[in-house]
A and B are shown apart, each in its own frame.
Chain A
Amino acid sequence: MNVGTWRMGRGTNTLAFVLAAPAVVVFGAFWLLPMARLAVFAAGGQLGWAAYLAVVTHPRYLESLISTVVLSAAVTAATLAIGGIAGVFLSRHRFPGHGLLVGMLTLPMAFPGVVVGFLVILLAGRQGLIGLLAQALGAGKLVFAYSMTGLFLGYLYFSIPRVLLTIMAAAEKLDPALEEAARSLGASPRQILQDVLIPGLKPALISAGALCFATSMGAFGTAFTLATRISVLPMTIYTEFTLFADMAIAAAMSLVLGAVTWLVLALARNATGAGVAAAA
């Protein structure tokens, strides 16, 4: 092929269009159309377009929305703290069994939510290890698998591996001389964390955090296995859909779930100045 033509404006444009076409078709067919259909569908129930309003004003729906956001935010914060520390440690230190440990830590990524829920029940359910242990110690039966704590634990369990891997990859790329330079200038470990490590890992922390938050917002399997008392948004959608057959509300909630997730991520991104950091 003639390289000269490729350099010319028209040639490049045509080529770009041809290359982009499949992506445009897939985007249109599997994102734009279903989303538009969903948006319209949500307005086709008894409430009409007011379905959207109902989702964010009705106490039961609103409570579900808020608890989902709070839970996801808490899980994200805890995961970033735990995964961040563990990730930096694992990328810095090599010891016998290092590979095996990383493999074991990332194993939960393959588990479906139901399995994660089951593990939480095994740990903190009615016949759970913690309950039995507490009973043996005379502290009464401790059961928190079916509460917010149980959900938090389950979400944490499947979130950590993803964050861990992202942070490890980023920490390995961080120039160790940066930390040594800070030490030579007299910086304390806390100052190094604040001035070198966190800024250096910021892009990774933000993308890992976003992934973690979005996954938590939409997690269903774990909640389904555990939820007896709490209703996170995906559960509420499921209930509306199957139990009450209110598909319009279910559709409206789905879109609100997506919109809220996007909004929170956008706000977090703005607040941390990720735009600049990610571009640099």
Chain B
Amino acid sequence: MTPRDPALAIRLEGCAKTFADGTKALAPLDLAIGAGETLAFLGPSGCGKTTLLRLIAGLDSPDPGGRVWFDDKEVTPLPIERRQVGMVFQSYALFPNMTVAENIAYGLKVRGEPRDRRRTRVAELLAMMRIEALAGRAIDQLSGGQRQRVALARAIAPRPRLLLFDEPLTALDAKLREALRLEIDGLLRKLGTTAVYVTHDQAEAMALGDRIVVMNHGRIAQIGTPHEIYHHPADRFVAEFVGLMNHVSGEIRDGWLHCPAGRIPLDRETAAGQGEVMFRPETVCLAGTGETHLKGTLAASFFLGDRTRLLVDGIGEQSIVVDVVGPVDLPLGTPVPLRIQSPAMAAKGST
């Protein structure tokens, strides 16, 4: 193997994107991606995450004034073919007129690498992706998972300095998605290449991203580690988009939120007055003999195997979701005493 280039750091300055029809896809934003970091762009469809990826890739250019830097070199005017990036698409985008091996070798071929070097590199990648047996196959003879493996190998073959993933697993079924996600994770760790991963699946973003950029309406809603995003969402949108969140309103005083159903401990000093708090389903448990914070009635219960999800009425405007470990054998309509195990967050501005 040739010595690896040091990983690439990326910086975006004032990058906005307005489409030809006048649609504002991205509000001006700044973003820094560390060398070797895997950054996940997470958001609902139409939030601008793919547009942002295309700006970094060089498939689209930002509105005038926006600048893209790869290390200390400005690449804003460079098209994708001169940015040394590898890209993996949702539709796989494999060349149907070429075999698996020819697809993987394509990037090397257009760069004019000699035939024997190409062959060695292709063999290396076929082994890395464990698809040696498919080398001579036509693309239409492959399954979805195999296709995405080939696409991955093709993107990596020319040793790009940046790997870009545009919802690569969306077209696959749940089980395969999980398996390939683990594989991509291992691969990115092994290669150490800087990577940007676009997805609308929060589990994928949490598992793969060193940091997650949550996007909404062409803006960055929050940037943070999966832990920060999950436990300290910047706003209601992030809280709702990543995982499940309960909301209860009432009167805040002395570090507690008081409501007719009981009281909820708060994680920080909050000004007294009317307010709203948020807490995750897994931070609540059935009170049993210990201290009880809230009382509600059981509205529904779903056995999910590793846990049971309870919907409890009579506390918030909507049913409170409670995840408890193991089975729960309570008839519907039973009063349930609940305890909040870790203090709740005071809800900040809503979207």
**Which residues of A approach B to under 8 Å, CB–CB?**
175, 177-178, 180-188, 191, 195-196, 199-200, 202, 280
Query: Given contacts A184-B57, A185-B106, A188-B110, are A178 and B95 in contact (CB under 8 A)?
Result: yes
B331 contacts the other chain (CB 8 A): no
Contact, CB under 8 Å: A185 / B89: no
Chain A residues with CB under 8 Å of B138's CB are 280
Query: Given contacts A187-B110, A191-B110, are A182 and B155 in contact (CB under 8 A)?
Result: no
Q: How far is the CA of A231 from the CA of B19 in the complex (A)?
A: 55
Please give the distance in Å from A15's CB to the nearest CB on chain B.
Answer: 32
From B107, B155, B158, residue with most partner A Cβ within 10 Å: B107
Contacts A184-B81, A187-B81, A187-B110 known; 9 new A-B pairs at CB < 8 A:
A177-B91, A181-B93, A181-B95, A181-B151, A184-B85, A184-B155, A185-B154, A199-B97, A202-B97
Secondary structure of the B side of the interface?
A: mixed
B111 contacts the other chain (CB 8 A): yes
Chain A residues with CB under 8 Å of B154's CB are 181, 185
B114 contacts the other chain (CB 8 A): no
Q: How far is the CA of A178 from the CA of B139 in the complex (A)?
A: 13
Q: How far is the CA of A212 from the CA of B81 in the complex (A)?
A: 36
Q: Which of A186, A200, A202 contacts B158 (CB 8 A)?
A: A186
B140 contacts the other chain (CB 8 A): yes
B65 contacts the other chain (CB 8 A): no
Q: How far is the CA of A175 from the CA of B96 in the complex (A)?
A: 11
Contact, CB under 8 Å: A183 / B95: no
Secondary structure of the A side of the interface?
A: helix
Chain B residues with CB under 8 Å of A200's CB are 96-97
Contact, CB under 8 Å: B89 / A177: yes
B186 contacts the other chain (CB 8 A): no
From B85, B93, B164, residue with most partner A Cβ within 10 Å: B93
Q: Which of A175, A186, A188 contacts B93 (CB 8 A)?
A: A175
- B110 closest partner in A (C-beta): A187
- B54 closest partner in A (C-beta): A180
Chain B 319-345 interface mask (CB, 8 Å, partner A; 1/0): 000000000000000000000000000
- A180 closest partner in B (C-beta): B59
From A184, A195, A202, residue with most partner B Cβ within 10 Å: A184
Contact, CB under 8 Å: A185 / B107: yes
Chain B 103-117 interface mask (CB, 8 Å, partner A; 1/0): 000110011000000
B87 contacts the other chain (CB 8 A): yes
Q: How far is the CA of A182 from the CA of B154 in the complex (A)?
A: 10
Contact, CB under 8 Å: B59 / A186: no
Please give the distance in Å from B215's CB to the nearest CB on chain A.
Answer: 21
